[in-house]
Amino acid sequence: MVIACGALAREVLAICHANQLDHIELTCLPAQLHNTPEKIPGAVRAAVIENRPHYDDILVAYADCGTGRLLDKVLEETGARRIDGAHCYAFFTGLKTFDALEETQLGTFYLTDFLARHFQTMVIEPLGLHRAPELRDMYFSHYTRVLYLAQTDNPALEIAAQKAADRLGLPLEIRRTGYGLLGEFLAPKAPTRNQARL
């Protein structure tokens, strides 16, 4: 079983399809949990407990995601394991590469395929910018660029990323990462399903 952030559903399914990992089953938690990261550990704990009787191995496709290591405590308690990294930007680029990106240019706003696709509902609306666009400069005055970490080669998402950057008044850069460490996390240590369901 893979318990994933909803923002990674397409990526997990694509990796499973490409690698014929048909023994993996996926359940997703709402991507909107990222707006309240303190709720992520509890939601993951509930999902692990619900699924633990039915699976030999449970992988959690979340990074720390702003939980302040509280997610790691849940994983220690439940025996599930997660991908390395502070957030998906780090595991898409690779941890060392992400650290180098951060050192090279502070003030980067990151986009993934998911965020490019859902920029309005995941960024604009939660920040209230659709009602008060003047808040943009307050929120983003210290940002210097939008960096789109592209998992796929999709011209429509590049256009969406450009629109997002324009909305924030920032220049856009694109870096093609593919699925980064997510593919490695799923493939070599893939969970096996316990055929004897309880």
Q: Model confidence over 99-138: pLDDT tens digits?
A: 999 988 889 999 999 999 999 999 999 999 999 999 999 9
Name the one residue in this structure whose structure tokens are 């702003």.
Answer: 66
70-78 vs 40-51: helix axis angle to the nearest 10?
10
- Show the beta-strand stretches assigned E in the chain: 2-5, 26-29, 59-61, 81-82, 108-111, 145-150, 172-176
197 pLDDT tier (thresholds 50, 70, 90): very low
Name the one residue in this structure whose structure tokens are 């986009």.
Answer: 111
Q: Quote the CA–CA distance of 109 and 189 in Å, as a whole number.
A: 32
Q: Quote the CA–CA distance of 82 and 180 in Å, as a whole number.
A: 15
Q: Quote the CA–CA distance of 171 and 159 in Å, as a whole number.
A: 13
Q: Please list the residues that pair with 30 across neighbouring strands.
A: none
Other CB atoms within 10 Å distance of the CB of residue 113:
22
Q: Model confidence over 14-32: pLDDT tens digits?
A: 999 999 999 999 999 999 9
Q: Are the CB atoms for 172 and 148 separated by under 8 Å?
A: yes
pLDDT > 70? residue 198: no
What pLDDT, on the 0 to 100 scale, is given for residue 105? 85
Q: Which amino acid is at 82?
A: R
C-alpha 68, offset from chain centre: 16
Closest CA to 34 of 75, 1, 64: 64
What pLDDT, on the 0 to 100 scale, is given for residue 188? 58
